[in-house]
Amino acid sequence: MALQLINEIPGVDIQIYTDGSKNEENQSGSGIYIKTPREVRKIKLRNPDNCSVFRSELLAIEAGLEAILNENNYRAVWILSDSRSSIQHLKDWNNVGDRTSISILKLLRHIGVDHEVHLQWIPSHVDIYGNEVADNLAKQGTAEPLCSTPSLTFDEIYSIRKNKDLKTWRVPPSHDWYKRSSPGGSIGLSCHRADQTTLSRFVSGHLRSCSFSHGNKVFPVCAKCGVASASPEHILSCLRLSRETFETDPLLALDFLRVSGLMDGV
């Protein structure tokens, strides 16, 4: 259906194919392929790092419309994009508030005074020539030098901050009790949830019996020896175990805690 629609576009109309891209280094670009009654134009743009693909699509539409402002002798403009979200966003023009979209709406209104304007979604990667060219141009745009470009939006800055926080959360603290390569290592063990919790508490040093007094950790007397406070370090010493035992053989360490009557405190 998309190919049929494109084939039925009159030769006196302008076709603008747009696309946005972002690589693994969060470098983004926009690609625009313009077919006018007189010529073909190709545009590739470098966008700000961490710019979303959605906004790269909008920047491509904006650049495509700006490129035809001085064109004459055409009947209608067809903006052909494979970004359904961008088209739906622009169609909901009453709720548009971002700078790029407002600029697009102004361009559409200006061009629409003398010409018909069509905003049409097309499927991607189905061998539509203009779309494939725009896609390649957008990918090439990510490698272009970063010049003076629009600043990031609030949503993009929020997304960047959120991703950084998630990465930080996944990195275990540097405290020497945290021996896991990532949080939640005990969850993968084949044992009861209570045992998994016990292992996690012991490895992290956050024992159930621990309390605080004047900012200091306080532990009850060891149930095994009845002499010293049952801190994680003392429990290891009392059971003649090493921290590595909780890593290499956690189920054995659990058995030692259970036999010694220390499970309730851990």
pTM here is: 0.60
Residue 97 φ then ψ, to 5°: -135, -10
Q: Is residue 108 situated within a structural domain?
A: yes
User: Which two three-digit tokens encode residue 157?
Assistant: 């800055």
DSSP 261: T
Tokens of 250: 């956690």
Tens digits of per-residue pLDDT, 197-247?
A: 877 777 777 787 777 777 777 778 887 787 788 888 888 888 888 877 777
Split into its structural domains, the chain has a count of 2
In a domain, 190, yes or no: yes
Q: By the 8 A CB rule, do 160 and 47 touch?
A: no
Q: Which of 145, 164, 194 is the last residue of a domain?
A: 145
Low-confidence ranges of the chain (pLDDT < 70): 1, 148-151, 171-189, 264-266
C-alpha 234/C-alpha 219 separation (Å) is: 10
End of a domain among 145, 161, 196?
145
* CA distance linking residue 106 with residue 174, whole number of Å: 53
- 130 vs 151: CA distance, rounded Å: 29
Task: Examine the domain organization and report whether 59 and 106 are in the same domain.
Answer: yes
- The pLDDT assigned to 42 comes to 97
Burial call 178-192: b when 16+ CB within 10 Å, e when fewer = eeeeeeebbeeeeee
pLDDT in tens, 38-48: 999 999 999 98
pLDDT of 237: 83
9 lies in the same domain as 132: yes
Per the domain annotation, does 94 fall within a domain?
yes
At 230 the pLDDT is 80
Q: Which residues of 134-155 are buried (b: 16+ CB within 10 A; e: fewer)?
A: bbbbbbbbbeeeeeeeeebbee
CATH of the domain at 84: 3.30.420.10
Residue 214: helix, strand or coil by DSSP?
coil
- The reply to whether 152 falls in a domain is no
| Statement to judge: residues 253 and 190 lie in one domain | yes
113/221 same-domain check: no
57, 134: one domain: yes
Do 21 and 99 belong together in one domain? yes
Whether residues 212 and 90 share a domain: the answer is no
Domain boundary among 119, 145, 171: 145
124/192 same-domain check: no
Residue 175 lies in a domain: no
The pLDDT of residue 157: 79
Instruction: Find the domain containing 190 and state its range.
Output: 183-260
Going by their DSSP bridges, the two strands 14-22 and 28-35 should be labelled as antiparallel
pLDDT at 79: 97
- Do 138 and 212 lie in a common domain? no
- The span from the CA of 186 to the CA of 132, in Å, is 48
Same domain flag for 21 and 115: yes
In a domain, 150, yes or no: no
Please enumerate in sequence order all residues whose Cβ is within 8 A of that of 96, keeping only pairs 6 or more positions apart, or say none: 89, 90, 102, 105
- Statement to judge: residues 114 and 49 lie in one domain: yes
In a domain, 129, yes or no: yes
The answer on 131 and 34 residing in a single domain is yes
The pLDDT, as a whole number, for residue 216 is: 76
* Residues whose CB is less than 8 angstroms from the CB of residue 205 and which lie 6 or more positions away in sequence, other chains included: 175, 177, 232
Residue 237 lies in a domain: yes
